């Protein structure tokens, strides 16, 4: 359990550092993201700030979605581009 939190915290720290240094995360990443998905991400980011969560499976996504602290975006509650 502690390992999951450490990995999540590390990802959050990296994203925070990159965004605070004005580094375009989409240009740094090696993953292929379609133009359609990037348009959705850009549209949501323009209304931000939002926190993105990367979850490896639905089992680990359940507690987040069931938490009263989680408030999804009303137009795009999730974005799966794996």
Give yes or no for residue 30 having a pLDDT over 70. Answer: no
Give the Cα separation of 12 and 74 in Å (integer).
23
Asked if residue 71 is part of any domain, the answer here is no
Q: Is residue 82 part of a domain?
A: no
Q: Looking at the domain assignment, is residue 21 inside a domain? A: yes
pLDDT digits over 36-77, tens only? 888 888 887 888 777 777 888 878 888 888 888 888 777 777
Domain residues for 62? 2-66
- In a domain, residue 16? The reply is yes
* Cα 50 from Cα 73, distance rounded (Å): 9
- Cβ-contact 25, 18 below 8 angstroms: yes
Q: From CA 25, how far away is CA 18, in angstroms rounded? A: 7
**Is 72 contained in some domain?**
no
Give the total number of structural domains in the chain: 1
Within a domain: residue 32? yes
Task: Evaluate whether residue 50 is within a structural domain.
Answer: yes
For residue 25, the model assigns a pLDDT of: 55
pLDDT for the residue numbered 12: 47
Structural domain includes residue 73: no
Q: What is the CA radius of gyration of the chain?
A: 14
The more confident residue out of 17 and 43 is 43
C-alpha to C-alpha distance for 37 and 20, rounded to whole angstroms: 23
């Amino acid at each position: 359990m502690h390992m999951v939190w450490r990995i999540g915290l590390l990802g959050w720290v990296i994203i925070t550092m990159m965004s605070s240094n004005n580094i375009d995360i989409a240009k740094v990443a090696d993953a292929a993201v379609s133009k359609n998905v990037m348009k959705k991400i850009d549209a949501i980011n323009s209304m931000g700030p939002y926190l993105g969560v990367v979850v490896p499976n639905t089992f680990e996504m359940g507690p987040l979605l069931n938490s009263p602290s989680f408030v999804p975006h009303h137009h795009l509650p999730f974005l799966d581009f794996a």
